[in-house]
A = this chain, B = another copy of it.
Amino acid sequence: MPVARERNNQTGAGARRSLTAEDWVDAALTAIGEGGLAAVAVEPIAKRLGATKGSFYWHFANREALIEGALARWESQNTERVIAAVDATRTDSTAEQRLRQLFKEVPAATSGDPVEVALLANARHPQVAPVLHRVTERRLAYVSDVFTDLGFPPAEARRRGLMVYTVHLGQISLIHGAPQVLPASKRDRKHYMDTLVYTLTRRD
């Protein structure tokens, strides 16, 4: 039974506009968030948009190009999110507080973004790796700046920043791969976090 499917459009139930590449990218990002890279499947997405596979191939050369577009969009959005997060902590009094803040906020934002989680799960994917690399570089530069603000000389600030970011990545791996090894109680977690910040910010 050929029922007319509801479909993305600007005018409600009225005239339906054509799909754009943007529409497909939107749908792809949604799919990544829900089921990872593997969920970027042309046929199911087409069904969701109320179109056919043939329509997709008018906008994109292939599935790879769709993933490319989705990653590019995520990266630019992610940049703005990082900047916003930075602005949010800028008024904190001490650099150590900002560091502590980063340890709390960034994983929260990170775990909260299902797309980031999915991309981290596919960090070695040839299309994902360079995106992750640029995002990493940007975040790392910011963390290093915090150590500069703490009075560390540039080279040492970079090393410390790298350590912090390394720990951050490790935390994400643990949270998503083996959360059971992390401190169980809130009290233990606070103790652990204190040890972490203390250890990483300590001077000679």
A-side interface residues toward B, CB under 8 Å?
A: 36, 117, 120-125, 129, 132-133, 136-137, 140, 156, 159-160, 162-163, 165-174, 176-178, 180-183, 191-192, 195-196, 199-200, 202
Contacts and interface: CB of A to CB of B under 8 A. Distances in A.
A133 B182 CA distance: 11
Given A133-B178, A173-B169, A196 B163 contact: yes
Count of chain copies: 2
Contact of A195 (B36, B117, B159): B159
Contacts of A180: 133, 137
Contacts of A177: 123-124, 129, 132-133, 136
A117 B122 CA distance: 11
A183 B124 CA distance: 20
A44 to B, nearest CB: 18
Nearest to A122: B121
A169 B177 CA distance: 11
Given A178-B137, A180-B133, A159 B191 contact: yes
Nearest to A156: B195
Nearest to A140: B181
Contact of A166 (B36, B117, B123, B167): B167
A120 B156 CA distance: 30
30 contacts: A121-B122, A121-B123, A121-B124, A121-B125, A123-B173, A123-B177, A124-B176, A129-B176, A129-B177, A129-B178, A132-B177, A132-B178, A136-B174, A136-B177, A137-B180, A156-B195, A159-B191, A159-B192, A160-B195, A162-B192, A163-B167, A163-B199, A165-B181, A168-B170, A169-B169, A169-B170, A169-B173, A170-B171, A173-B173, A202-B202
